[in-house]
Amino acid sequence: MATDERSPPEMQLETSIRPYNYYRNAVEKHWDPHEIDLEADRDGAAELPDPAFESLKQSLALFGAGEESVTEDLAPLAVVLEDIEDQLFITTQLYEESKHTDFFDRYWREVIHTEEKRRGQELSSPTDEQWFNEPYDELFERNERAMARLLEEDTPENRAKAHCHYHLTIEGILAQTGYYGLTLAYGENEPDLPDLPGLVEGLKLVRSDEGRHVGFGMAKLKDLVMNDEIDPDLLQETVDELVPLVQQSLTGDGGASTESGPGPSPSELSEYAYTKHQQRMQQITSASEAIPDVEQLTELET
């Protein structure tokens, strides 16, 4: 047999499949939350009227705590996934969720605390109960339970529910929507609020990472649906149960966004979230639609 007709030797890694590609994309797009310049944000924070400063803290507390929760709750998936390429991907996600948590913590230390000192205020804590409402706590408790259940009973239904909680709802709807709203509020196009370019830069990098995470969850769900392991209705039902909690987390008493304040309104954000979610459900459940490639998942609309 001529050399070129031999099949290639088996290798350790399957380098043409999605989870490997996502892992590589994560490595190539590596960023350090401590390298983001926060100098201009300290100036911007000084221009915020009191209510806007409080509402910025509220948003940062909610998203910082959210990143901490998802960092803590992801591990069961790493235990149950069998393929090495999936493991490579999950290590990047765990690392990235840690960096997101670190980014919010650093922002509080270096921007919020600096500004509180300048205003002669007592230094606040991002973990203070005042920032969180009941629907928010409930949402994250349900996510934690959905993930932990994988360790007790690793069934297709439980995997589907875990991905629906974690990837489709918390990351796909809550985080993507909230970050999009904050980016608009503190970006260059909102005349009523000062620019916070370090925050916007960090959020861009976080959102790009989240695009990859959501894509991984979508691909896992699509496999379960296409292999007839779960009823596709389970996905919509699971997400529908959680959506009211997401909305109340962002807009309810102690939520991050108000209809009258500067930046996008809660109804605009809900519409954005709903459209994105419906698109994803189509891509998961319809055989003729594909999950967007990793470049598309991680690129951000302006």
| Binding-site ranges for Fe ion (CB under 5 A) | 67, 97, 100, 171, 210, 213
CB atoms within 10 A of CB 240: 11
Instruction: Compute the least distance from the CB of residue 179 to Fe ion, in Å.
Output: 9
Please say whether the beta carbons of 95 and 215 come within 8 A: no
CB of 24 to Fe ion, least distance (A): 17
Neighbours of 172 (CB within 10 A): 26
Cβ 93 to Fe ion, closest distance in Å?
Answer: 6
CB of 212 to Fe ion, least distance (A): 8
Burial class (CB in 10 A: 0-12, 13-18, 19+), 255: buried
Question: In Å, what is the CA distance from 287 to each residue of 160, 169, 237?
Answer: 17, 22, 20
Q: Which is nearer to Fe ion, 44 or 211 (CB)?
A: 211
Q: Which is nearer to Fe ion, 130 or 296 (CB)?
A: 296
Nearer to Fe ion, 41 or 171 (CB): 171
Q: How far is CA 111 from CA 39, 187, 197, 205, 259, in A?
A: 8, 16, 12, 18, 26
DSSP class of residue 120?
A: T
Q: Which is nearer to Fe ion, 171 or 201 (CB)?
A: 171
> Which of 115, 210 has the CB closer to Fe ion?
210
Q: Provide, rounded to whole angstroms, the least separation between the CB of residue 163 and Fe ion.
A: 12
